[in-house]
Amino acid sequence: MSTTKLISPRKLAGFWELPPEKQILFEEMQEKIKKVFAQNCYSPLDTPVLELAEILLAKSSGEMDKEVYAFTKGDTAMCMRYDLTVPLARFVAANANTLEFPFKRYQIGKNYRGERPQKGRWREFYQCDADVIGSEALSLVADAECVKLFIECFDALGYTSITEISNRNLLFGLIDDCGDNANAEAIIILLDKFDKIGKDNIKLSLKDLGVSEENCEKYISAVSVKGNFEEFKTALSKISNNEIFLKALTELEEVESYLTAFGCDKNRYTFNAGIIRGHNYYTGTVFETFLEGHREFGALGAGGRYENLAGYFTEKKLPGVGMSIGLTRLFDVFDQNGLLPEVKKSNIDLFIIPLGDYTAKCVELCSFFRQNGIKAEVAYDNKSFKNKMKEANRRQVPYVMIVGENEANSGLYVLKNMTSGDQSTLSKEDCLKAIKL
C-alpha cells in the first residue's frame, strides 16, 4: 500500500463549480441570453480577466479596493476584473477613434471579488452585460432598449420579470431643493437602503446627518412613490418643482415613450423612485429587475446610465447606459427554489451500441450523425448490452441505435425511442430524419 499522503480534492471557498447535468442548463441559459443580445445588434466583446491595477482601480471605491484580487508579476501591478464595465470603458477609450458610435457590445464572463462568501455572493461569478456607448451624447432610446433587453432575456429563459425604473437625479434634485447638498452622497446611500432597514431607521439616520424633520418626510415620501408612469409623475410632481428634479422626471417620461414605441408590455415594467443603485458612476436612469411574484429574491439584474465612465482614460466624452444580469446568482436562486427546468443527465441525442465486434462501424455511424447535427456517442466500453441500455436510461438519452451483424451487413439499423419504447429498423438516413422530428 502506498504511504503517499493524498491531498484532499477541495476547491477554494466562494468559487463556482457545477456538476455536468447542471452545467448543461447553465450554458443553455448563457446561449439564450447571448442570442437576445445578438438579435438586438449588440456586438460581442471579450476583455482580459487581468487588467493593469491603475486601470481597474481608477474609479473604484476604497471598499472595492479591499475586495480586488491584486498581485505583482515582475514590476507590473495587476488585478483580476471585478466587473465587466471598467474593462469596457478602457476598451472604448483606447479604440474611440476607430469604433462606430453608438457602440453596442455584450459580454458574458467571469468576474472576481475577494469578499466573504455567503448566500447569493461568490468570489467568482458570471455576469451578462450589454451596454451602449455614445460619443458626446447618447439618446434615451438606449436606456429604454436596456429595459427591453431584460424583458426579452427573461422571456427567452422562460420566466417573467418586472423591471423597476427611476432616475437618480430625482433625489439629487430633491436634495438640492431641500438645501442638503453638503450631505447629498450620504443621503443617497441611506435612501438606497430603504427597503432593507425601513422608514424609522432611515429617519433616525437622516437626522443624525442633520436633516430636518420636514426634509426627512420629503425624502421618505419620494422613495415610496411607485406605479405606472402617470401615477408616478402625478405623485412626484406634488413633492418638488426643482429644475434638476423636473428634468429627471421629463427624461423618465421620454424613456417610457420609447418603451411604448418598442412595444414593451406595460405589465413588465414599473416606476419606483426607491430604485437608486449605490454605484456613484450612475448619473441618470437606473433600473433593477425582479422575478415576478418573487421580489424577496432581490434584484436579479440591474443597470443604468453613466455620463462619463471613461473620463479617467480619455478627455473624449463617452456617455453610456448598460444592463447586467448576475447569471451565477440567477441560476443559484432558480436552483435553490426549484425553478430550474428539468435537469438533463447528458446532452447526448443518440447512443450507438455495438453487438459484437462492430465498434468501428459504430464510430463511422457516429461520425455521420455528428456531421448532420446530432450529438451521438458510441457505447464502446466493455460492458454487457443490458448494462449499456441501463446507462442510456440513466443518461436520459432519447434514442438508441443497435448495430450487430445483420445491421452492419444490411445497412438497416434498429432505432429505439427510449421515451415511447417504440423501435424501427431504418437506414441511417431515415434514422437521422426520425431523430430530427
Same domain, 394 and 305: no
Residue 189 has φ and ψ, to the nearest 5°, of: -60, -40
Q: pTM value?
A: 0.89
In this structure, the answer to whether residues 32 and 76 fall within a common structural domain is yes
Per-residue confidence (pLDDT) for residue 110, from 0 to 100: 96
Q: Are residues 175 and 316 in the same domain?
A: yes
End-of-domain residue from the set 301, 336, 371:
336
Same domain, 277 and 425: no
Which of residues 336, 370, 404 is at a domain's end? 336
Q: Is residue 250 domain-shared with residue 327, that is, in the same domain?
A: yes
20-59: per-residue pLDDT in tens?
Answer: 999 999 999 999 999 999 999 999 999 999 999 999 887 6
Q: Is residue 3 part of a domain?
A: no
Is 341 within a domain? Answer: no
Q: Is the pLDDT of residue 128 over 60?
A: yes
pLDDT digits (tens, 9 = 90+) for 208-235: 898 899 999 999 999 999 999 999 999 9
63 pLDDT more than 60: no
Same domain (yes/no): 374, 308: no
For the chain, how many structural domains are there in total? Answer: 2
State which residues form the domain around 378. Answer: 350-436
Q: Which residue has the higher pLDDT, 198 or 377?
A: 377
In a domain, 69, yes or no: yes
* 401 and 320 in a common domain: no
Is 196 inside a domain boundary? yes
Q: Identify whether residues 164 and 137 lie together within a single domain.
A: yes
pLDDT of 130 reads 98
Residue 8 lies in a domain: no
Please list, in sequence order, all residues whose beta carbon lies within 8 angstroms of the beta carbon of residue 102, skipping any fewer than 6 positions away: 132, 133, 134, 135, 138, 139, 142
What is the predicted pLDDT for the residue at 66?
78
- Cβ atoms 331, 337 nearer than 8 A: no
Is the pLDDT at 281 greater than 70? The verdict is yes
Outline where 325-436 has alpha helix (H).
Answer: 327-336, 359-371, 385-394, 405-410, 428-436
Question: Residues with Cβ < 8 Å from 415, sequence gap 6 or more?
Answer: 399, 400, 401, 423, 424, 425, 426, 431, 434, 435
Residues 44 and 150 in one domain: yes
pLDDT (tens digit per residue) in 183-213: 898 999 889 888 888 888 888 989 989 889 9
pLDDT band at 60 (very low <50, low <70, confident <90, very high): low
CATH number at residue 284: 3.30.930.10
Residues 102-111: tens digit of each pLDDT: 999 999 999 9
Does residue 2 lie in a domain region? no
Of the residues 314, 336, 358, the one at which a domain ends: 336
Same domain for 216 and 111, yes or no, is: yes
Angle between helix axes 327-336 and 20-39 (nearest 10 degrees) is 130
In a domain, 7, yes or no: no
Q: What is the CATH number of the domain that holds 363?
A: 3.40.50.800
Contact present, 289 and 274 (Cβ < 8 Å)? no
- 174 in a domain, yes or no? yes
Q: Please tell me whether residues 130 and 65 are part of one structural domain.
A: yes
Query: pLDDT tens digits, residue range 70-79?
Result: 999 999 999 9
Tell me: do 251 and 368 sit in the same domain: no
